[in-house]
Amino acid sequence: MTNDDLTYPGGGVRLYVEAALSDGFTVVLNEDQSHYLAHVMRAKVGSRLAIFNGRDGEWDATVVVVAKRGVTLTVGRRIGAQTETPDIWLALAPIKKTPLDYVVQKAAELGVRRLQPVITRRTIVERVNVERMRSNAIEAAEQSGRRTVPDVEEPVALTRLLSNWDTTRLLLFCDEGGDAKPIAAIRAPKAAILTGPEGGFDPAEREMLRAQSFVIPVTLGPRILRADTAALAALAIWQSTCGDWT
C-alpha cells in the first residue's frame, strides 16, 4: 500500500462520514479525521480511500485538498451497496471506562445494531460518556468493514426501559441462576440482549424482569462471567444462531 492509494482489496483506510454520498460529491472531513489522514497516514493530494455514511453504501474517494483547515475529498464510484446488520441490540449496565470502551468496540465488530446503556441499582458508574461510546463504535465500524454504525442511546433507568419497551422485540435477560434457558436455544431474529453491572442485578430487579411477558431469562453456561465477557459472549452466540454468521 502506498500513500497514493490508501485502500487495497479487502481492507485499508475506511472513514465514516455524515455527508450524503454520490459520484462527484465533495466531502470536507472533520478535524480528527483530517489529522488522521494528513499526519498519521501521510495522505496527500491524489491519495484514495473508502468512505461510507450508513445510508448510501461504500464509495471510493480521492483527496483533493490537504490544508490546515482540513482535508477535502471528492467522491468517486460506489464500491459496495448499502448493507444492514441483523436486528440485535445490546442493553448493558455501564461498567468502568476501559471495559466499557472494549465492549462497545467489540459489540460493533460483532454487528450490534443499537447500544443502550441501562442504569440499575448496582450500577457504580456515575456518568456515561455517550460521545466516547459513539466514537468507539465508529472506529470499530471503520476497521471491521461494516457499512453502518451502531446507534448509541442516552442512558436510561431499567424501570423506564421496561415500561417503554416495544413488546414485539424479545429481551434476552442474561440471568445467572434459576430456570434460565441456554441462549443458543432461543430463536429470536428481532431481539435485545440485557447484561447487568459488575455486581449483577439485585433480587427485586430479577423478579421485575422475569415478570415481563417479553423477557426471556437466558444462561451462558455453568461459569459466572464478568459483565464485559457476558455481553460479548451473548452477542457471539446470537449471531451464530440467528444473525449473519449463519
CATH superfamily of the 87-241 domain: SPOUT methyltransferase, trefoil knot domain (3.40.1280.10)
CA–CA gap between residue 203 and residue 35 (Å, rounded) = 49
pLDDT at residue 9 is higher than 70? no
* Of residues 89, 136, 150, 94, the one with CA closest to residue 117: 94
- Numbers of helices and strands, H then E, in the chain: 6, 15
Place of cell 455453568: 222
Domain boundaries, the chain: 7-80, 87-241
Pick from 215, 217, 89, 219: nearest CA to 163: 215
pLDDT given for residue 87 in this prediction: 97
Mean pLDDT, the chain, whole residue set: 93
Helix, strand, coil % over all residues of the chain, rounded to 5 = 30, 30, 40
Residues 94-152 pLDDT 10s: 998 889 999 999 999 999 999 999 999 999 998 999 999 999 999 999 999 999 999 99
Residues 148-194: pLDDT tens digits?
999 999 999 999 999 999 999 999 999 977 789 999 999 999 999 99
Q: How confident is the model at residue 2 (pLDDT cuts 50, 70, 90)?
A: very low
Gap between the Cα atoms of 49 and 76, Å rounded = 10
β-strand pairing of 14-16 with 48-52: parallel
Decide if 106 contacts 140 (C-beta within 8 A). yes
CA proximity to 111, closest of 82, 136, 86: 86
Reported as a pLDDT band with limits 50, 70 and 90, residue 8 is very low
Note the pTM of the prediction, 2 decimals. 0.91
What's residue 246's pLDDT?
83
Q: What is the mean pLDDT of residues 237-244?
A: 96
* First and final C-alpha spacing in the chain: 33
pLDDT for residue 6: 65
In this prediction, residue 232 carries a pLDDT of 97
Strand 170-174 and strand 215-219: the pairing is: parallel
The topology under which CATH files domain 7-80 is Ribosomal Protein L25; Chain P (2.40.240)
Q: What percent of the chain shows pLDDT beyond 90?
A: 88
Q: Output DSSP code: residue 68.
A: T
